[in-house]
Amino acid sequence: MSEVSTIDLNRLPEHVNQTVRMQGWVHGLRGSNARQFLSLRNSGKILQVLAEKEILGEDLFSEIKHLKQETSVEVIGKLVENEKSPIGFELVLSSFKKVGESDNYPITPKEHGIDFLLSQRHLWLRSSKQLAIIKVRSELSYQIRKYFHSNQFTLIDTPILTGSIGESAGTLFSTEYFDLGNAYLAQTGQLYLETAIFAHNKVYCYGPTFRAEKSKTRRHLTEFWMVEAETAFLTHAENLKLQEDFVKTVIKETVSSCLPELKVLERDPAPLLDYISKPFALIDYKEALEYLQSQKEDIVWGDDINSEREQMLCQKFGGPVFIQKYPREAKAFYMKVNPEDPRTVLNADLIAPDGVGEIIGGSEREESYETITKRLQEENLPVESYEWYLELRKYGSVPHSGFGLGTERLIAWICGLQHVRECIPFPRMMERLYP
């Protein structure tokens, strides 16, 4: 007798009509006194395993019938095609053995509150919806890296511990750093990323960032993953084109690879694909303000465009919209002042519809040593802490632009989710640090 191959659920088409061995966990169990359908989870997928009393005998069938959720097992059987199966295959069981017992698994098929599920996040990741979300996240991460690699961007791993402030000083996580005083968890990798354009022209980083922002909205996390890109000799207008191409490409490729997962999530990808089939709208902050005021919104120059107002603009344009040239005082010190209107800077936020909100913030960077020094002083930031950054403007400074995209908000948009807390394996929020 030939040896039985041990396979996982990523290799099913290669072994149709063969007897195979699989290892995994009991995701669920249903059936009758003659047949049981065991859901076996392996490799983030779920396979239906058919157990028949007539084949297995009374004792083995009874043991299977009483298996508890999340018991780990090893099964042997014939792999056959089955059109009714969500993944197109079924295993007809001939033998099995337990690997690890499970008792009183806390997450059952009944409804659970979100606080309970987040407290059980280490186990909740095994649920069908969460399996699908993490698969989409994994694919999106791959497509992001693939896009930059294909477009000759060089990956630069920027530090998480830093002595420089990249965004608002009020949203920093501080920690003692030996005898050197305070260090901060990075809000952005951008300042360090800019150093690398003078060596590699086109660069990106992708990693965790931290914001001590006291916000409990469905769009905020205190730790999230951000991809950032910087390009030498790139104007603001060219930066917008790069951002649009990037977003459209990674969404299209991720959706194409994750149709089974989107089906589990009951997410119809058609509206999303329709959004990215058309050019993204572009509107100045000033024009956005005028439109919102025409809609009886109480908003004046310098005010933030909040999430509700962002969605009003998306509805007006029927999809994603770039809002550009915000007031100078509302934006970071490194953004280049708009030469046509010094009240504003050459920046843009990309706003996604469906309640998602801002997914990209980008700008042309200030390349002048004198101007950026003055901006630091205006922001009451310690110039001496930025000497290394300022030196970039002394030795061959050039016009350059960049942007940052929050991964979790893009995942929420792709998956049709209402809250970013499900878009990261272990969400960190104001009120949650466990597990």
Residue 412 has what pLDDT?
Answer: 98
Q: Where do the CATH 3.30.930.10 domains begin and end in the chain?
A: 119-422
**3-state secondary structure (DSSP) of residue 38:** strand
Judge whether 358 and 310 are in contact, CB under 8 Å: yes
The CA distance from 328 to 347, in Å, is 10
Judge whether 218 and 341 are in contact, CB under 8 Å: no
The CA distance from 335 to 327, in Å, is 11
Give CA separation, 423 vs 130, 214, 420, in Å. Answer: 9, 20, 5
Nearest of 325, 333, 316 to residue 393 by alpha carbon = 333
Q: What are phi and psi of 272, to 5 degrees?
A: -65, -45
Q: Domain 12-100 carries which CATH code?
A: 2.40.50.140
280-313: b (≥16 Cβ within 10 Å) or e: bbbbbbbebbeebeeeebebeeeeebebebbbbb
Residue 86 has what pLDDT?
Answer: 82
The CA distance from 260 to 12, in Å, is 15
Eight-class DSSP state of 429: B
Tell me the torsion sign for CA atoms 294, 297, 301, 305: negative
Residue 2 has what pLDDT?
Answer: 62
Give 9-66 pLDDT, tens digit per residue.
999 999 999 999 999 999 999 999 999 999 999 999 999 999 999 999 999 999 999 9
Residue 360: beta bridge partners? 350, 405
The CA distance from 252 to 154, in Å, is 23
Give 97-106 pLDDT, tens digit per residue.
999 999 999 9
Q: What percent of the chain has pLDDT over 90?
A: 94
Task: Give the mean model confidence (pLDDT) for residues 207-223.
Answer: 94
Tell me the torsion sign for CA atoms 326, 329, 334, 340: positive
Architecture of the domain spanning 119-422: 2-Layer Sandwich (3.30)
The CA distance from 220 to 420, in Å, is 7
Residue 1 has what pLDDT?
Answer: 47
What the block records as the tokens of 56 is 């297995």
The DSSP string of 76-95 is EEEEEE-TTSTTSEEEEEEE
Give 143-171 pLDDT, tens digit per residue.
999 999 999 999 999 999 998 776 777 78
**HSE of 43, CA atoms in CB hemisphere, 13 A:** 10
> Which stretches of 82-210 are assigned E, i.e. beta strand?
89-100, 154-155, 161-162, 174-176, 182-185, 202-210
Q: Where do the CATH 2.40.50.140 domains begin and end in the chain?
A: 12-100
Greatest Cα pair distance, the chain, in angstroms, is 85
Give 67-89 pLDDT, tens digit per residue.
999 999 999 999 999 998 889 99
In this model, does residue 198 exceed pLDDT 80? Answer: yes
